[in-house]
Every structure is written in structure tokens, then in C-alpha cells.
Amino acid sequence: MRTQVVIIGGGPSGLLLSQLLHVRGIESVVLERKTRDYVLSRIRAGVLERGLFDLMREAGIAGRMEREGYPHDGTLIAHEDGIFRIDFKELTGHTVMVYGQTEVTRDLYDAREKAGGAIEFEVEDVQIHDADSETPHVTFHRDGVEHRIDCDFVAGCDGFYGVSRQTIPTTVRREYEKTYPFGWLGILSETPPVSDELIYATSERGFALCSMRNRNLSRYYIQCNLSDKPEDWSDDAFWQELKRRLPQDVAEALVTGPSIEKSIAPLRSFVCEPMRWGRLFLCGDAAHIVPPTGAKGLNTAASDVHYLYNALQQFYEERDPEGIDRYSERALARVWKAERFSWWFSSLMHRFPEQNAFDIRMQRAELDFLESNRAAQAAMAENYVGLPY
Ligand code: FAD
Ligand code: DHB
């Protein structure tokens, strides 16, 4: 079998890339290790930057997001002595969209299916061959049978634990990593959100986030120990702890109910350089991870897709390799800025076990500055709504 681009991974990066390539008349095959239902059962990001919703429009899949998503003009930041608002619209002219990653992925699967796009599910043992030549190929197994696809390019969209990054020789690859000494315990509940806007809260008991998916579906997170397991936390214990970390009036207004999903995610900052090796291009979590504070994970994956699909279009339509040659440099320039913002916002809002009284005062002084200084708010808002591509 032969195609133009083999895309490894059927998460949001891989699906968005294949749909955008399809719109531009470029053929691809997506290889996904899991089933469609499994991919759609993963509850992850909830806030989309304007760059991602513009890409969804370009890909022709923005209809449901435009009808059912919730544009947000600002966000609230709570601390021990109060709560303040960052007005994105007023400070930047832009807003963000609350629309779950699960819904983006579902819209992409539906669009690929309608267009007759090739997605191979439940593939095993994917291997990339000759990526440093002009004639790469990919092999995989399904039901014990080996398959081979010849192609012009391979897009590695297979997340942090995928094979694509590992295919780049260690003599070429450089990795930068920081792990954080805590995780996020998240729950989804069929209850009305406590606030019209997201609340990022810091307290002496640690970080908390009040987010949402729609008028009757709330997403809440609390900072937890890395050794905690979701089953250690009853719903009741979760709600009690969340309330302790929120301003009193917010805690009193919180409507609680049974959780319909509960999971723990560790926090990590990670970047792999370069993001290209020969005819293999890394995209999204395969190349970089951010701690979730500020919702940059999915959005940074989308900016990679933007650079890559434009580069491939330039190659196929104009026979010009400039875009693919500069892909890694362009994508990484934006990735590092998203890394900085996520690291800064995480460092500001969490309690760290090694923190001393001075460190805590520094966090407090930085929050006071953010609360009172328009330039600081503008910098935060520009990063939150998404830096331009
Ligand atoms: P993924 O979504 O990881 O998709 C990769 C796909 O590749 C998967 O479907 C996987 O099954 C497949 N795959 C892997 N290996 C292979 C292989 N060898 N062969 C074939 N297929 C393979 N971001 C936020 O902004 N806010 C959040 O709240 C948030 N919460 C998160 C919670 C968790 C638990 C995790 C893990 C991430 C979270 N993120 C969040 C980050 C965000 O979800 C990711 O940045 C986003 O999913 C990246 O998309 P991706 O397509 O690059 O990678
Ligand atoms: C959500 C997750 C985030 O990491 C964030 O900063 C905002 C919202 C969410 O899952 O809703």
C-alpha cells in the first residue's frame, strides 16, 4: 500500500492533521493503537485557543463547536484574601472557547468517516523505516498479520509514550524535562458549574480549578500527592477538599453530586529537539508536554499541526521544501513560549513541598502584582488566549 503521509496516532493532533491535509487534497493514512471508543473515553482538555478554533474552521469541522461551545471573555483567579478577574477580551481583543477535547476528537472522527478517510484502529508494533531517506515506509501488525505502507512523509502524532520520538537517534535528539512533585485529581460531574467563568485558585492547602464543559457538566481539579490513587478519594472527600481551597462564597455556592469520571494526571514539562528527523515530523505530545495549568497542551499540539500542514502543502503544491526544512525551528519557537507560560502559571498557583516562607511570600507578591498591574494582566491574557502562529 502507498499514501502521501502516514500519520501515527489518532488523537487530536493526528486527526486534525489528516483532515486539514484532506481539505488540501493530500492523502494520508492514520494508524491508531486503540479503538475509537477508547480514544473518546479519555477526558482531557477543555479550553480552546483562537488558533485552534480557526484551524477547526479551516478543516470544516467547526459547526458543532460554534453552536455548542461557550466563548469565555475572561477568567477568575482566587487566593487566600480574595478573587480577581483577568479580562481577556478587553486586554487582547480575543476570547477562548470552552469545548472539550473529547468533542473536538469526536467531530474529527465523524468528518474523517464522512470523507472516507483511512484510519486503521488497533494496530500493534508500529515501526518507522528509512525516515532519513526520501522513501520512508511504516510497518505494523493487526490480528497477527504484518502490513507495510510506503509514503513520502511520516507524522509522529502518537503522544508522549509513542514510537515516533524514539525513532530519532539519541545522537540527534535532545530532551529537556522537569517533573513536578504533585499531580492533579480531576472529576467530571453532572452538576451546574459554580461560576460562569473558570476559577484558578491557590490556597495553603494547594491548587484547585473550577472548570466546565456545559451548563450541566462541571470539571473540577485539585492538586494531590503523586502517590494518591483515584480510588483513595471518595466523591465526598474530593468535594470537601475542593471547598477548603476556594473562597467561602464560592464554596457555599458549589453544587456537588456523584462523579462520572475521576482520574489523576502527573505534571510534567518536556521538550524534544529537533521536531524533525529526515522525513519524520513530531507533532503534539509526541514532542512536548506542559503541566495543565493554563490549558496549553492541546492548543500547542494544534499550532504544530498548523505549521506542518502548511509545510506539506507548500511542498506538494509548489515543490518548495522551505516549510518542511523550517518546521522544527518554527514549531519549537512557539512551543518554548507555551512551556514558559505553563511553567510560570503552575509555579505561581501550586504549593511545593520544598517551599519555605520566603518562597510563599514571593508567590503572594507576584499574585498581588498580577492583580494590580495592567501590563502583567495583559501579558497573562495574551498567553492564555494564545500567542499568534
Ligand atoms: P494524544 O492525545 O496522546 O494522542 C496520541 C494518540 O496516539 C493516542 O490516541 C494513542 O493511543 C496513539 N498512539 C500512541 N502510541 C501509538 C503507537 N505506537 N501506534 C499507534 N498509535 C499510538 N491539556 C490541556 O490543555 N488541559 C487539560 O486539562 C489536559 N488534561 C490532560 C490529562 C491527561 C491525563 C493527559 C495525558 C493530557 C492532558 N492534557 C490536557 C494534554 C492534552 O490532552 C494533550 O496535549 C493532547 O491530547 C495532545 O494530543 P496528541 O494528539 O498530540 O496526543
Ligand atoms: C481545563 C483544564 C485545564 O488545564 C485548564 O487550565 C483549564 C480547563 C479543563 O479540563 O476544563
Average pLDDT over residues 190-200: 98
Partnered with residue 75 across adjacent β-strands are: 86
| Residues with catalytic function | 72, 200, 292, 296, 384
Q: How far apart are CA 284 and CA 289, in angstroms?
A: 8
What's the CATH code, domain 5-72+96-177+268-348? 3.50.50.60
Q: Check whether 150 has a pLDDT greater than 90.
A: yes
User: What interface predicted TM-score (ipTM) does this complex get?
Assistant: 0.97
Q: What CATH fold (topology level) applies to the domain 180-266+351-385?
A: D-Amino Acid Oxidase; Chain A, domain 2 (3.30.9)
Confidence of residue 81 (pLDDT cuts 50, 70, 90): confident
Q: Atom 34 of ligand 1 has which residue's CA nearest to it?
A: 265
Ligand 2 neighbour 297 (Cβ under 6 A)? no
Confidence of residue 43 (pLDDT cuts 50, 70, 90): confident
Residue 48 Cβ < 6 Å to ligand 2: no
If you measure from the C-alpha of residue 5 to the centroid of ligand 1, how many angstroms do you get, rounded to a whole number? 20
Q: What is the pTM of this model?
A: 0.97
Ligand 2 contacts CB of residue 342 (under 6 A): no
Candidates 127, 298, 300, 306: which one to mutate for ligand 1, based on the most atoms within 8 Å of Cβ?
298
Percent of the chain with pLDDT over 90: 98
Domain ranges of the chain: 5-72+96-177+268-348, 180-266+351-385
- Distance (angstroms) between ligand 2 centre and the Cα of 340 equals 17
Q: Atom 9 (ligand 2): residue with closest C-alpha? A: 46
